[in-house]
Amino acid sequence: MNVFEEIDRREHEQILFCSDRKVKLRAIIAVHNTALGPSLGGTRMWMYLNEEEALRDVLRLSKGMTYKAAIAGLNLGGGKAVIIADPEKDKTESLFRTYGRFVDTLGGRYITAEDVGTTVRDMEWVRMETRHVTGISRALGGSGDPSPVTALGIYMGMKACAREAFGSDSLRGKRIAIQGAGKVATHLCEHLERDGAKIMITDIHDGRAKEAVKRFKATYVKPEKIFETPADIFAPCALGGILNDDTIPKLKCRIVAGGANNQLLDEKKHNQMLIERSILYAPDYAINAGGLINVANELEGYSEKRALKQAEGIYDILRNIFRISKEENVPTTVAANKLAEQRIQSIGHIKQIFSSHSNGAAQNHESSIKT
């Protein structure tokens, strides 16, 4: 892998490799873009097969955060970090505190949070060494679990989809098939039940699905049957990559709108397949931006009321995406990317912000976003 080529290709500003043999820390922090504000994104802890895989992942994820923050209307850029280690065995206070010191050296150009493989407790160790961390527990004045805010955003996004596809944003009587009965899905069901939607739900943990069935008077669906369940809306709220060559032909819905990240296995190809099947797709990073909105709120002194209010705005964001998609005859993913890029270009003054945050580490000054 040609590291600089890879960095140039995705137009990153800065990559920091963090290593401390004594505490067994090997981490990579990727700052993709700070045109709109400091980069924010979680720290993923994962047993990557090799360094190349870790670098690719952090470059991909940090770019995604730039787009998510931009489309959500936040004054934040995109960043992400990966720690190459086993989250089951390798966590120690010294590892996270050492990592926190590396985060601190970036002087606020990168703000971290929890992600796959890390928890609020880990972030509290990081917090001992740097204030550039968010997603801390409510007890310590943080924003706590983001899933209620994420779920509200998805619910509002679903309403925007319903308006686009059915001419009304009411979800009363609409059949909603939900994949996953975890935190986001459960909070989503609260809104859907209140609106009188018909919920159909599955989970690979049978107990979770059955609990939701009982609580929301929903219908239980076996995990392998969820794609072919006739529904108005299919809501992926489990894992990524689930919209692919095998599953798209099975879908019997008019809309796909859910909380999972990276739902399309191949963004271009699979969005096109959905269009050919006349299925409206709500771009995942736009509809699930409530979680980021929640942690971003912590930076200004957390207020749940304000975070929920902001997440309601996802309705208008989706309406805008559909407008561009129709006007320009482009897939909704292309429309979403365009909206995010436009905001970065019109508001971001990357060179000024870049130099004001500069700390002398290796940086790609020819960064990308055309202001």
Q: Given the complex with ligand NAD, which of 208 and 338 has the nearer CB atom?
A: 208
Q: Is 208 in the site for ligand NAD (CB under 6 A)?
A: yes
According to CB under 6 A, which residues from 285 to 304 bind ligand NAD?
Answer: 288, 291
Compose the 340-369 pattern: x for residues touching ligand NAD by CB under 6 A, - for all others.
Answer: ------------------------------
Q: Is 80 among the catalytic positions?
A: yes
Q: Is 179 in the site for ligand NAD (CB under 6 A)?
A: yes
Give the shortest CB-328-to-ligand NAD separation in angstroms.
27
Site size with ligand NAD, rule: CB under 6 A: 24
CB of 187 to ligand NAD, least distance (A): 8
Q: Does residue 205 bind ligand NAD (CB under 6 A)? A: yes
Write the secondary structure of the chain as one string of H (helix), E (strand) and C (coil).
Answer: CCHHHHHHHHCCCEEEEEEECCCCEEEEEEEEECCCCCEECCEEEECCCCHHHHHHHHHHHHHHHHHHHHHCCCCCEEEEEEEECCCCCCCCHHHHHHHHHHHHHCCCCEEECECCCCCHHHHHHHHCCCCCECCCCHHHCCCCCCHHHHHHHHHHHHHHHHHHHHCCCCCCCCEEEEECCCHHHHHHHHHHHHHCCEEEEECCCHHHHHHHHHHHCCEECCHHHCCCCCCCEEEECCCCCCECCCCHHHCCCCEECCCCCCCECCHHHHHHHHHHCCCEECCHHHHCCHHHHHHHHHCCCCCHHHHHHHHHCHHHHHHHHHHHHHHHCCCHHHHHHHHHHHHHHHHCCHHHHHHHHCCCCCECCCCCCCC
Q: Which is nearer to ligand NAD, 248 or 260 (CB)?
A: 260
Q: Is 237 in the site for ligand NAD (CB under 6 A)?
A: yes
Q: Binding mask 211-230 vs ligand NAD (x if CB under 6 A, - otherwise)?
A: ------------x-------
Please report how close the Cβ of residue 118 comes to ligand NAD at its closest, in angstroms: 13
Stretch that binds ligand NAD, among 51-59, 168-176, 254-262, 335-343 (CB under 6 A): 254-262
Residue 204 is a binding residue for ligand NAD (CB under 6 A): yes
Q: Which of 63, 80, 91, 198 is catalytic?
A: 80
Interacting residues with ligand NAD (CB under 6 A): 146-147, 150, 179-185, 202-205, 208, 223, 237-239, 259-261, 288, 291
User: Which residues are catalytic, by number?
Assistant: 80
